[in-house]
Amino acid sequence: MWSSNVQLGSELSISSIGVTTLAREFGTPAFILDEEDFRNRALSWNEALFSAFGNNAGTVYYAAKAFICVEVARWIKDLGIGIDVCTAGELAVALKAGIDPAKIEVHGNNKSVFEIEKAVSNNVGTIVVDSLFEIVRVAEAAKKFEKVQRILLRLTPGIEAHTHESIATAHEDVKFGFSIASGAAWRAIEEVRKHPNLELRGFHAHIGSQILETDAFAISAQRLIALLGQYRDAFSVELPELDLGGGYGVEYLPQDVALTPEKVMQELLQAVTINCSAHNLAIPKISIEPGRSIVGPTMFTIYEVGTIKDVTLENGANRRYISVDGGMSDNLRPALYGAQYTAVLANRTSSAEKISSRVVGKHCETGDIVIKEIDLESDIAPGDLLATPTTGAYGRSMATNYNHVPRPPVIAVKNGNARIILRRETEEDLLGLDI
Ligand code: LLP
């Protein structure tokens, strides 16, 4: 839940800097990012991939959608891993940070011609193709820039992953990819083979997000490998790559148990080895795309408490509403997916009894909830700071300006130093869009 340099002492601190100091210096709400923890987590996925697959390890593509800014993209570059981008905007960040284009993989179910041309002309390593239209569009762009573009086909292996329905992506009734079961994947393969400017490297699947069990990943690998076998039988050549996506879950609550990189990679190794041997295939290069499991636990959010209200429920019980200075604009996940978070009183300790509370934001709607039900100290008062762990993934990246709230900054902390890597938006930023 908390990143490795966080200490829960008399006040919560990170790398010996107290939250009170951070709040004073950078304001609230703010995302605090543990740089060392981010680097270690990214490296641990990379090491697990390489120690499991050895020469058959492909690339760890950090899923930028979980959170990206130019400085974090520079860390990705330093670490020597790859990046998965799914829009021209994310691609621009990766390029600005100087990431080797060969290490960029481009996703998206509706890439525009502009986005495809930008990717191809910047020499991205791989484009993951998602529709028949796109096969033609990527081929045309490759021809225009006189290239042979390496591609993967995004496939839907027909799996109901155990997660929220909005973030499960590999059952049949989804907008993503080509279904294996319906034959769409095979038609896509035949279409790709008509285009000399495309080099089909293999297949890709991403089955969903915040998944806490490994079985669905193994089934996905099994189905993709069966298709690799079919491809070899039809065309007498083996495709050299398989990208098994991301989706590894993290711990939001004390009772959650995350998948470790080692465990995931051992399970994938086993699934890949057994199925390749069953189809008499050489093991392809295996790539993965973790987003949340790298950045999620590396950030926490600091909020300041503004108002407090006690409400009597129909059954006579009391519910305390604690309002903080952010909410659904910086953490949309509770409203969107019913996601659950926890929080602590961060600027001091209190021995006051804990009472049933609801932490809510400052937006003009009832669903603006940060934490629906939590026992918090009864003496929490305006001006206190609350800290919410594990807000690194899909927090700042899905933040909005709802109610014209400027989006919070991201502050990176390392070796006792805190610095802004993504500044807070200002009213001028917001008004600057108005004509
Ligand atoms: N690869 C592809 C093709 C993806 O679509 C995604 C996430 C990932 C990798 C990274 O998945 P991760 O390792 O982060 O789970 N906004 C939602 C999550 C949406 C995930 C979208 N795709 C949430 O807040 O839970």
Ligand 1 centroid, distance to 168 Cα (angstroms)? 9
Ligand 1 centroid, distance to 289 Cα (angstroms)? 9
Within a domain: 40: no
- Taking the C-alpha atoms of residue 413 and residue 402, their distance in angstroms, rounded to an integer, is 28
> Are 15 and 120 part of one and the same domain?
no
- Taking the C-alpha atoms of residue 54 and residue 57, their distance in angstroms, rounded to an integer, is 5
Which of 241, 259, 290 is the C-terminal boundary of a domain? 290
> Are 307 and 197 part of one and the same domain?
no
| Distance of alpha carbon 324 from the chain centroid | 25
- Which CATH number belongs to the domain containing residue 117 in this structure? 3.20.20.10
Region of residue 340 (left: phi > 0; alpha: psi -120 to 50; beta: else):
beta
Closest ligand 1 atom number to CA of residue 296: 14
Half-sphere exposure of 118 (CA within 13 A, CB side): 20
SS3 of 26, please? helix
pLDDT in tens, 59-106: 999 999 999 999 999 999 999 999 999 999 999 999 999 999 999 999
Minimum CA distance residue for ligand 1 atom 19: 167
- Taking the C-alpha atoms of residue 59 and residue 49, their distance in angstroms, rounded to an integer, is 8
Within a domain: 68: no
> Are 281 and 302 part of one and the same domain?
no
Q: Which domain holds residue 157?
A: 107-290
Before 240, cis peptide (omega within 30)?
no
Report whether residue 118 contacts ligand 1, using a CB cutoff of 6 Å. Answer: no
Within a domain: 44: no
Within a domain: 41: no
Give the single-character DSSP code of 394: T
pLDDT in tens, 316-375: 999 999 999 999 999 999 999 999 999 999 999 999 999 999 999 999 999 999 999 999
Domain tally, the chain: 2
Tokens standing for residue 63: 């899923």
Distances (CA, A) of 375 to 167, 232, 315, 342, 344: 29, 58, 18, 10, 10
Q: What is the mean pLDDT of the chain?
A: 97
pLDDT in tens, 5-22: 999 989 999 999 999 999
- Which CATH number belongs to the domain containing residue 317 in this structure? 2.40.37.10
Within a domain: 363: yes
Q: What does pTM read for this prediction? A: 0.97
SS3 of 178, please? strand
